Amino acid sequence: MSEKTNLLIALSPKQTPLASLAAEFSLILPPPETSLISHHPARSERPTTIPVTVPSSPVLTPGIPQVWFSGAPHALGNNPMLVPILRAPAESFAADSTDDSGADAIVDATGKGGEGLWAGSQMGLVTGFQTNVNSRVVFAGGIDLFSDEYARKELPSGTPSGNSQFVRDIAAWVFQETLELRIDDVKHHRVNQTEAPEMYTTNDQIVSYSAAVIWYI
C-alpha cells in the first residue's frame, strides 16, 4: 500500500476477491459460507445475530455497550502490525450450519484452549493493520455491523447497542483522524545564529534542533 492509503473493508462469509486481500494482511479466513454462531445469551434473534462485548482499546471510546454482529470471523497471524479491535465471544464458534451438530466437540476443544479450531475469543471480528508507511486498514467480518438497523437495535437487556459509536471510532482511526502523531513545526540553526540556513555543510555545528509534535487523539 502507498503512503496515506486507508481502507475500511467489510468481509463476507461468501467467497469474494477480498478474501485474498485479507491474506496479504496476515488474516486467515474460514472456509466459504462459514458464519459466526452463538446461542448465548438467550434472545429472540437467530444464532448468527450476536451481541458482542466491546473490549478496552486505545482505538475505541471507553465504555461502549455491546455491539450487534453478523458475519464471518477470522484468525490473526503473528504480524506485529495487526491491531485487534473486536474479538468473538468465548462461547461462539464458526460453522456452515446453525444447528448444534458437533457442538460437544467444539465445547470440549474450547475448554482446552480451542487450538486449531474456529471457536472462542481467539477469533477476530474487527481487526486493524498499520503499515510501515503509515497507511491503515480495517477488516470487519460483516457489513451489518455498520447498518442503521443494528445502530437502532436494542440489546437483549433492552438498552441501546453500541454500534453507532463503535463504527464512528473505527472509521476515525482508519482514516487517521485519531491516534496519529504529526510533526507540525521544525526549527534548527547554526551556532551563534537564529535563522535556519538554506543548507548545511558537514563541518557546521548545529546548536539547536526542535520539533513540535501534535498527537491527534
Nearest of 40, 34, 35 to residue 52 by alpha carbon: 40
Give me the chain's average pLDDT, please: 87
Is 144 in the same domain as 91? yes
In a domain, 184, yes or no: yes
Instruction: Specify if 101 maps to a domain.
Output: yes
The pLDDT of residue 207 is above 70: no
What is the predicted pLDDT for the residue at 167? 98
**Percent of the chain topping pLDDT 90:** 59
Judge whether residue 168 has pLDDT over 80. Answer: yes
Q: Using CA of residue 6, residue 28, residue 48, residue 110, what is the dihedral sign?
A: negative
Asked if residue 108 has pLDDT above 80, the reply is no
Q: Report the C-alpha gap between 143 and 37 in whole angstroms.
A: 16
Q: Is residue 24 part of a domain?
A: yes
Counting the structural domains of the chain, the total is: 2
C-alpha cell at 6: 486507508
From residue 183, alpha-carbon distances to 20, 158, 175, 180, 190 in Å are 35, 46, 18, 10, 21
Is position 2 within any domain?
Answer: no
pTM metric for this prediction: 0.80
pLDDT tens digit sequence for 59-72 = 999 999 999 999 99
Alpha carbon of 66 to those of 53, 96, 156, 179, 211: distances in Å?
A: 5, 25, 10, 23, 41
Q: Identify the pLDDT of residue 139.
A: 98
List for the chain the helix, strand, coil content (%; round to 5): 15, 30, 55
| 112 and 98 within one domain | yes
* pLDDT at res. 63: 97
- Across the range 127-148, mean pLDDT stands at 95
Please indicate, yes or no, whether residues 47 and 73 belong to a single structural domain of this protein.
yes
Say what the pLDDT of residue 68 is: 98
| Those residues with Cβ within 8 angstroms of residue 168's Cβ, 6 or more apart along the chain or in another chain | none
Cβ–Cβ < 8 Å for 23, 79 = no
Q: What is the C-alpha to C-alpha distance for residues 162 and 125, in angstroms, rounded to an integer?
A: 15
Residue 116: band (very low, low, confident or very high) from pLDDT cuts 50, 70, 90: very low
Domain assignment of residue 194, given as a range: 180-216
Average pLDDT, integer, range 36-62: 95
Does the structure show a pLDDT above 90 at 147?
yes
Name every residue whose Cβ is closer than 8 Å to that of residue 101 and which is 6 or more positions away in sequence.
Answer: none
Residues 69 and 169 in one domain: yes
pLDDT tens-place string over residues 9-37 = 999 888 888 888 999 999 999 988 999 99
Least confident of 136-150, 160-174, 196-210: 196-210
Distance CA 3, CA 14 (A): 30
Regarding whether 13 and 117 lie in a shared domain, the answer is yes
